[in-house]
């Protein structure tokens, strides 16, 4: 019963996120010069990406089992495919709102300690990964070194996932075990703030 209520809350949060429409633009910055080093550094300069990637790791640590490695490997793999779509000029609606939604929804999943099956969690992770990747792929200039930038970006993303996993596993060993859920709640609040913040 409690898990069913939590799922309804998470679904409501996702619907509310979509209602904000195109008001949220989480990705900004100059992408005119691409290199491995800049790709490595870029995720660390975007609050939306940092929080979403850490939340993926936190959620993976809560789900445990195969999810502990499947979630953090699925995200960068699908993100690379999304980047290829964006770089190729494919049209994809609601990208920016979806990126912001990833912060809110993943944070809420950790805060509510939702534990769906892999059949439910992996598609959600893949969706958000595709949106994050598409946004960055669309911003790549034609003369940029997209491959080296992407390698750096993927490695930084994996590092953020591992940070979230480490925090989650450490929190699970604490007597109260509320640290990870508190972090998830804070991430969700920031995600909501990104939605309502004027741009």
The answer to whether residue 10 is domain-embedded is: no
Residue 29 or 149, more confident: 149
The answer to whether residue 7 is domain-embedded is: no
Residue 151 or 122, more confident: 122
Residues 6+ apart with CB under 8 A from 95: 131, 134, 135, 138
The answer to whether residue 17 is domain-embedded is: no
Measure the CA–CA gap between 145 and 142, rounded to whole angstroms.
8
C-alpha closest to that of 190 among 109, 101, 113 = 101
CB 194 within 8 A of CB 99: no
Residue 152 or 141, more confident: 152
**3-class SS at 176?**
coil
Q: DSSP character for 126?
A: H
CB 20 within 8 A of CB 192: no
Q: Domain range spanning residue 162?
A: 35-196
**pLDDT tens digits for range 78-117:** 999 998 898 888 888 889 899 999 999 999 999 999 999 9
**pLDDT tens digits for range 155-197:** 999 999 999 999 999 887 776 568 889 999 999 999 999 988 8
The answer to whether residue 43 is domain-embedded is: yes
Instruction: Quickly tell me which residue has 């900004």 as its tokens.
Output: 28
CB 18 within 8 A of CB 127: no
The answer to whether residue 85 is domain-embedded is: yes
Task: Write down the pLDDT at residue 29.
Answer: 45
The answer to whether residue 23 is domain-embedded is: no
What's the total number of domains in the chain? 1
CB 189 within 8 A of CB 105: no
**pLDDT tens digits for range 106-149:** 999 999 999 999 999 999 999 999 999 998 888 776 666 777 88
Largest Cα span, the chain: 54
For residue 53, pLDDT beyond 50: yes
């Amino acid at each position: 019963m409690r898990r069913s209520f939590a799922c309804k809350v998470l679904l409501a949060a996702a619907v509310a996120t979509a209602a904000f429409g195109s008001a949220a633009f989480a990705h900004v910055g100059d992408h005119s010069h691409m290199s491995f080093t800049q790709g490595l550094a870029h995720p660390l300069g975007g609050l939306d990406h940092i929080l979403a990637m850490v939340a993926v790791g936190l959620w993976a640590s809560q789900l445990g089992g195969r999810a502990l490695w499947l979630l953090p490997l699925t995200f960068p793999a699908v993100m690379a495919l999304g980047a290829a779509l964006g770089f190729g000029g494919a049209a994809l609606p609601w990208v920016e709102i979806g990126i912001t939604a990833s912060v809110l929804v993943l944070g809420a999943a950790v805060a509510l300690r939702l534990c769906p099956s892999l059949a439910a969690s992996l598609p959600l992770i893949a969706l958000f990964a595709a949106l994050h990747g598409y946004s960055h792929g669309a911003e790549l200039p034609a003369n940029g070194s997209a491959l080296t930038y992407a390698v750096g970006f993927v490695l930084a993303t994996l590092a953020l996932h591992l940070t979230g996993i480490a925090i989650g596993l450490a929190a699970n060993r604490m007597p109260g075990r509320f640290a990870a859920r508190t972090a998830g709640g804070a991430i969700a609040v920031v995600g909501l703030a990104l939605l309502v913040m004027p741009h």
